[in-house]
């Protein structure tokens, strides 16, 4: 659905050249929900604006939704949906009229336009606000309206730029539900975010961008398992026996005993733990509690760049 090679964009401002995106390769298969994660200024929006034809790349090439980005931008535009950051629609018109007009712009006859808008408003829980102006909607309602506007023409590929930026936790999780439903209905989705939890909760696959370059790529689980591994911790009345048995686990590292607590790292806690628990049981070691901490995506970012994503975002 997306195949980009060496996509790059420079900006010249006040005599200086900013290398906003430095030759990225992006592959997105039909049906995927891919997250483009990075701190502020990493190059996410610039990449998205290139892929959606709004900004011409300074180098590289791409096919998007079956059309060549450089030679057939109109074809790309027809086949994709794009929801930009912030709310773009006018504030003095009823939202249902605005959406119907937008559907007419996409070439739907009036009856079909009304039907599509009603159907979308229903699924995005906007029906009760249909006669309000956009200015009278909450942040979460506006974002859902933005999404409705972006998918009126039933695009196979939808780009979302920071979909839940600025929303409260409840509106965010509600919006995620709608994004998941769109994905389930067959829409391929490419979204940018600087929220780790959003990437983790929504995406099949994540690409991490920093300073205009892709620094990591994989499923959330793959990325996390590239880092130090899972931290396993258990409490027992016989910690020294437990530690002795744990030391025999091939991949166990950083084994520490502190009071009744035994702590160590393994690449995958879920696959290593059953065998270890059996061995502990055979040695009559009674466990009082067991915890497995998976590394977070922030640990991934820290490993790849030497900085925490949170620090980078606040910089
Ligand atoms: N029109 C422009 N002129 C000059 N520099 C620009 C322009 N647009 C973006 N940049 C610079 O390019 C870099 C990447 O910006 P971009 O907006 O793509 O980042 P981002 O990852 O989307 O950040 P955010 O999360 O803040 O939206 C930044 O250093 C930014 O200042």
Q: What is the DSSP string of 166-218?
A: T--HHHHHHHHHHHHHHHHTT-EEEEEES-HHHHHHH-SEEEEEETTEEEEEE
| Closest residue to atom 2 of ligand 1, CA basis | 11
Count of the separate structural domains present in the chain = 2
pTM of the model as a whole: 0.81
Is the C-beta atom of 44 inside 6 A of ligand 1? Answer: yes
Q: Which of 219, 247, 263 corresponds to the end of one domain? A: 219
Rounded Cα gap, residues 188 and 204, in angstroms = 11
Is the C-beta atom of 187 inside 6 A of ligand 1? Answer: no
Q: Which of 219, 248, 271 corresponds to the end of one domain? A: 219
Mark whether 206 and 136 lie in a shared domain: yes
**Region of residue 28 (phi > 0: left; psi between -120 and 50: alpha; otherwise: beta):** beta
Mark whether 207 and 248 lie in a shared domain: no
Q: Which of 86-100, 152-166, 264-278 has the lowest mean pLDDT?
A: 86-100
Rounded Cα gap, residues 181 and 187, in angstroms = 9
Mark whether 77 and 178 lie in a shared domain: yes
Is the ipTM above a cut-off of 0.90? yes
- Give the mean pLDDT of 86-96: 70
Phi and psi angles of residue 183, each rounded to the nearest 5 degrees, phi first: -65, -45
Residue 91 confidence (pLDDT): 62
| Closest residue to atom 11 of ligand 1, CA basis | 20
Q: Are strands 16-28 and 2-13 parallel, antiparallel or unpaired?
A: antiparallel
| Closest residue to atom 28 of ligand 1, CA basis | 41
**271 inside domain:** yes
pLDDT classification of 86: cutoffs 50, 70, 90 = low
Q: Which of 7, 36, 38, 45 to mutate to test the pocket of ligand 1 (most atoms within 8 A of CB)?
A: 45
Distance 146 CA to ligand 1 centre (A): 22
Instruction: Domain of residue 205: give its range.
Output: 2-219
Q: Which of 42, 56, 199 to mutate to test the pocket of ligand 1 (most atoms within 8 A of CB)?
A: 42
Mark whether 259 and 202 lie in a shared domain: no
Is the C-beta atom of 20 inside 6 A of ligand 1? Answer: yes
Nearest ligand 1 atom to the CA of 45 is 22
Residue 314 confidence (pLDDT): 60
Q: Which of 87-96, 141-150, 185-194, 204-213 has the lowest mean pLDDT?
A: 87-96
**305 inside domain:** no
Q: Which of 99-108, 186-195, 250-259 has the lowest mean pLDDT?
A: 99-108
Mind listing the pLDDT tens digit for each residue in 237-277?
A: 999 999 999 999 888 888 999 999 999 988 888 888 999 99
Report yes or no: 166 and 11 within 8 Å, Cβ to Cβ. no
We report the CATH number of the domain holding residue 166 as 3.40.50.300
- Give the mean pLDDT of 194-205: 90
We report the CATH number of the domain holding residue 256 as 3.30.70.2470
Mark whether 208 and 237 lie in a shared domain: no
3-state DSSP call for residue 252? coil
Angle 224-228-232 from CA coordinates, rounded to 5°: 90
């Amino acid at each position: 659905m997306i195949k980009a090679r060496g996509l790059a964009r420079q900006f010249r401002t006040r005599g200086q050249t900013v290398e906003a995106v430095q030759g990225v390769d992006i592959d997105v298969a039909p049906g995927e929900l891919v997250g483009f994660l990075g701190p502020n200024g990493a190059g996410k929006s610039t990449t998205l604006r290139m892929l959606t034809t709004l900004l011409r790349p300074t180098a590289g090439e791409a096919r998007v939704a079956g059309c060549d980005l450089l030679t057939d931008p109109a074809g790309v535009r027809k086949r994709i949906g794009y929801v930009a950051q912030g709310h773009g629609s006018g504030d003095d018109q009823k939202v249902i009229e605005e959406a119907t007009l937008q559907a007419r712009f996409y070439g739907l006859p009036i009856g079909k336009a009304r039907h599509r808008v009603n159907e979308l408003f229903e699924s995005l829980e906007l029906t009760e606000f249909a006669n309000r102006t956009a200015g009278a909607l909450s942040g979460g309602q506006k974002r859902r309206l933005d999404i409705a506007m972006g998918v009126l023409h039933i695009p196979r590929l939808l780009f979302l730029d920071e979909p839940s930026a600025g929303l409260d936790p409840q509106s965010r999780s509600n919006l995620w539900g709608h994004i998941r439903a769109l994905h389930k209905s067959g829409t391929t989705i490419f979204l940018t975010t600087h929220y780790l939890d959003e990437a983790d909760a929504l995406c099949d696959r994540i690409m991490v961008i920093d300073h205009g370059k892709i620094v990591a790529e994989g499923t959330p689980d793959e990325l996390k398992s590239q880092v130090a591994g899972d931290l396993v911790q258990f409490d027992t009345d016989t910690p020294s026996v437990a530690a002795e048995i744990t030391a025999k686990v091939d991949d166990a590292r950083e084994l520490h005993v502190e009071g009744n607590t035994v702590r160590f790292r393994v690449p995958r806690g879920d696959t290593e733990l059953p065998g270890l628990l059996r061995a502990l049981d055979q040695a009559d070691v009674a466990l009082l509690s067991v915890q497995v901490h998976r590394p977070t995506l922030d640990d991934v970012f820290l490993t790849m760049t030497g900085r925490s994503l949170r620090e980078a975002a606040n910089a």
